[in-house]
Every structure is written in structure tokens, then in C-alpha cells.
């Protein structure tokens, strides 16, 4: 017979294991709080906006779809140049290390940089992420200035304009405290519900008369009520019947019930 479970039984299992579920929810919340506020290191970011004029070879041409596509293609080239150029990273590292307490290498500078672009826009942003907000600001502004100098020589662009310099952002972008705590709470809830159903599935004890009648095919002749803790801890006191009978024989002797003689009395006789 295929075993099914009803919605009422599901709510019954959840209600039965509610304490376990709530406990695991708080454990998940506590674990995510420790990871968020103790283990994870906050990171800060700062961005500077730039715009690059078309190369000199494109000057004097009519504005059409090909010009727009060419410009978008060049922005992709600028992105690759900023994030992968060793020359730009080394120059940025030297300037930032001289002006701040930055101790990283050129490879660290490349790992910190990211270029973002709005859709169908000639402007793009150089974003730097670091554990120190001042380092993030310095790297973003310095990388923009170095790109402004090197792009004219390497990429033969006409003009690179910095629209907005990178500000100092003291609000961390990661970790997301609220999101992490919510994830920990939800994971604890899921684990608690899963363990509750697993424990219920592994429990093979008979829970009602329906299982005996429908699954085993037996008839229920009677039930034994569950004893309380007080009843289980109680003791049965037996009455000393023989002692009581002897006491009655001594106080009320009869012909059929003579007084029992002691050993000394029997010897005298």
C-alpha cells in the first residue's frame, strides 16, 4: 500500500517538533551573526566616472549606427586595458604606495579594479574595492589618472575626461548584514523542518488504531491507557496476611483455631 501524508499530518509533525525547529532557527541565526560580524572583513568601494572621445581617425565622420557600435567596442577595449594592463597597475601601485600606507603589489591593484558601463552610454566607471575606504578611493582616482595619460599614447584616443572623481565611502558594501542574518534564519528553519520529518519518518512505532487495521490487517481488541509519571513511580504495598491471621488466633482462640504453642510449651507437654 502506498503511504501518503495529509496536510493535517504535516502541520501535526511541525507542531510536535516546534521546539526543535525554533532551536535550529536560532542556531542558524547565531552562526550567520558570527560569520558576518566576526569572521568576515568589511569591504569598501569607490568609483570614478570617465568619458573617452572617439579616436582621431573617427573625427569628421557622420554619426550613425556604425559610429555608435565602434564607440561601444572601444569602451570594451578600455575595460580590458584598465583591468589587465600591467603598466597601468604598476604605475597605480607606485603612486598609491607613495601617497598612502598601501603595501600591496601590482597584482593586488588589478584584483581591486573593476570597470562598469551603463547600457548604451559612452561613460564608464572605474571601481576599486578594498578593506580600507581611503585605499579604495586612492586606487580609483589614481587608476583613472594613469589611464588618462596612457590611453592617449597606447590607444590613440583624442581625449579622456574624468567626469566625477571617486568619493570617500565609509559605508561597507559587504557583507550585507541583514541579508546574511536572514539567510541564516531561513537555513535554520529548513534544517529544522527537514530533521523533524526525517525523525518522524524513521519512527516505526504504532501511533494509532488505523495502522493496525489498515496496514497489518488485525482487529483491535482493547487499548491500554498510558500511565502517568506518578503512576509509574508508585509502589504496591502488600498487606501481611499471615501475621494478621496469627494475631487473630491469639486474641480470639476457638476450638477449630487453637492458640499456637511455642517450642518451650511443647517441650513441657
* pLDDT score at 238: 63
Report pLDDT digits (tens) over 90-138.
999 999 999 998 999 999 999 999 998 877 777 889 999 999 999 999 9
Q: Give the full edge-to-edge strand order of the sheet including 123-130.
A: 113-117, 123-130, 44-52, 160-164
Residue range 230-242: mean pLDDT, rounded: 66
Residues 201-224: what's their mean pLDDT? Answer: 73
pLDDT single digits (tens) 162-186: 999 999 999 999 889 999 999 999 9
Q: Is 102 in contact with 79 (CB distance < 8 Å)?
A: no
For 141-197, strand residue ranges (E) read: 160-164
**Residue 46, pLDDT score:** 94
What are 76-85's pLDDT values in tens digits?
A: 888 889 999 8
| pLDDT, the chain, mean | 80
Query: Which residue reads 490487517 in cell numbers?
Result: 217
pTM confidence score: 0.64
User: Comparing C-alpha atoms, which of 32, 21, 30 is closest to residue 195?
Assistant: 21
**Cβ atoms 203, 20 nearer than 8 A:** no
Would you state the pLDDT for residue 9? 81
pLDDT for the residue numbered 1: 44
Of 59 and 89, the structure prediction assigns the larger pLDDT to 89
Amino acid at each position: 500500500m502506498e503511504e501518503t501524508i495529509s496536510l493535517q499530518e504535516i502541520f501535526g509533525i511541525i507542531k510536535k517538533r516546534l521546539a526543535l525547529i525554533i532551536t535550529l532557527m536560532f542556531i542558524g541565526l547565531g552562526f550567520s551573526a558570527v560569520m558576518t560580524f566576526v569572521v568576515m572583513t568589511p569591504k569598501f568601494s569607490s568609483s570614478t566616472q570617465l568619458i573617452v572621445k572617439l579616436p582621431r581617425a573617427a573625427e569628421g565622420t557622420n554619426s550613425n549606427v556604425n559610429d555608435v557600435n565602434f564607440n561601444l567596442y572601444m569602451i570594451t577595449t578600455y575595460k580590458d586595458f584598465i583591468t589587465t594592463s600591467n603598466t597601468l597597475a604598476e604605475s597605480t601601485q607606485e603612486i598609491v604606495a607613495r601617497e598612502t600606507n598601501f603595501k600591496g603589489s601590482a597584482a593586488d591593484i588589478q584584483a581591486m579594479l573593476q570597470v562598469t558601463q551603463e547600457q548604451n552610454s559612452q561613460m564608464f566607471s572605474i571601481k576599486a574595492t578594498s578593506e580600507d575606504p581611503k585605499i579604495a578611493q586612492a586606487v580609483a582616482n589614481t587608476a583613472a589618472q594613469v589611464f588618462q595619460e596612457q590611453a592617449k599614447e597606447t590607444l590613440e584616443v583624442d581625449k579622456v575626461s574624468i567626469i566625477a572623481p571617486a568619493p570617500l565611502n565609509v559605508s561597507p558594501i559587504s557583507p550585507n548584514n541583514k541579508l546574511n542574518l536572514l539567510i541564516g534564519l531561513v537555513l535554520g528553519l529548513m534544517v529544522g523542518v527537514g530533521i523533524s520529518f526525517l525523525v518522524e519518518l524513521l519512527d516505526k512505532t504504532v501511533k494509532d488504531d488505523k495502522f493496525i487495521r489498515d496496514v497489518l490487517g488485525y482487529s483491535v481488541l482493547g487499548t491500554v491507557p498510558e500511565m502517568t509519571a506518578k503512576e509509574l513511580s508508585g509502589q504496591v504495598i502488600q498487606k501481611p496476611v499471615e501475621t494478621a491471621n496469627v494475631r487473630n488466633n491469639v486474641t480470639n482462640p476457638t476450638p477449630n483455631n487453637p492458640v499456637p504453642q511455642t517450642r518451650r510449651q511443647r517441650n513441657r507437654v
